[in-house]
Amino acid sequence: MKVPTIADLRYKGCQTVDTTGEELVTVAQEVLGAVVKERRGKPKPKPCIIVDSREQAPLRFSDEVTTEVVGLQTGDYSLRGATELVAIERKALPDLAQCCGRDRERYWEQMTRLAEYRHKFLVIEGLEERIWAKAYMSEISPKAVLATLRAVQVDFGVCVIHAENARDAAARVEWILTRIAKRKEAGRYVEQPP
């Protein structure tokens, strides 16, 4: 451990005249303790999840994040300060089946917009087994629904995540957005030239 000099301590705002090693260490410990206490005293801001204003039944997140309802151009969820970086589209199984049928053109337009983001996700409320069990009201076959999901992954580079239910979907969306918030805070995202 490097023992600070008198000049170091004066720079930190300490008033000391005695230069004995023991007292110098005591003063340094006090300064260090004050700095640590100051840093710990400031609560870290919670990540803010942006919820699209058109989302009819928004996911419920933990107290570890805050939420704000805003009209998003793409997706249902994003992150304050990173809306240009991340977009998450959420689909329940009935909506997904509909997107594979009569709403396919609109769905493809959504996926085209989603593909423009660095981080893009499609969170499905329903495990793959439920798709195979045709746990939705539609004439669309499970094979067609799953083929559409694979095409979204390959054609648009969208990460498809299956969640068991809305609570599981909320946990997954929260984890993704919290992770991106931490990376952004740590300076791990650099603006990419156009």
For residue 49, give the amino acid letter: I
Distance CA 98, CA 131 (A): 13
Q: Is residue 140 pLDDT above 50, yes or no?
A: yes
* Residues 71 and 138 both lie in one domain: yes
The pLDDT of residue 193: 46
Which domain CATH number covers 166? Answer: 3.40.50.10130
Which residues constitute the domain of residue 177?
A: 48-185
pLDDT tens readout for residues 147-171: 999 999 999 999 999 999 999 999 9
pLDDT tens readout for residues 59-89: 999 999 999 999 999 999 999 999 999 999 9
- Whether residue 162 is contained in a domain is answered as yes
The pLDDT of residue 113: 96
* Residues 133 and 164 both lie in one domain: yes
For residues 118 and 86, is the Cβ–Cβ distance under 8 A?
yes
The pLDDT of residue 102: 86
* Residues 19 and 58 both lie in one domain: no
Which residues on adjacent β-strands are paired with residue 67?
Answer: 49
* Residues 37 and 52 both lie in one domain: no
DSSP state of 110: H
Distance CA 103, CA 95 (A): 9
Q: Is residue 115 pLDDT above 80, yes or no?
A: yes
Which residues on adjacent β-strands are paired with residue 92?
Answer: 125
Beta-strand relationship, 119-125 and 77-79? unpaired
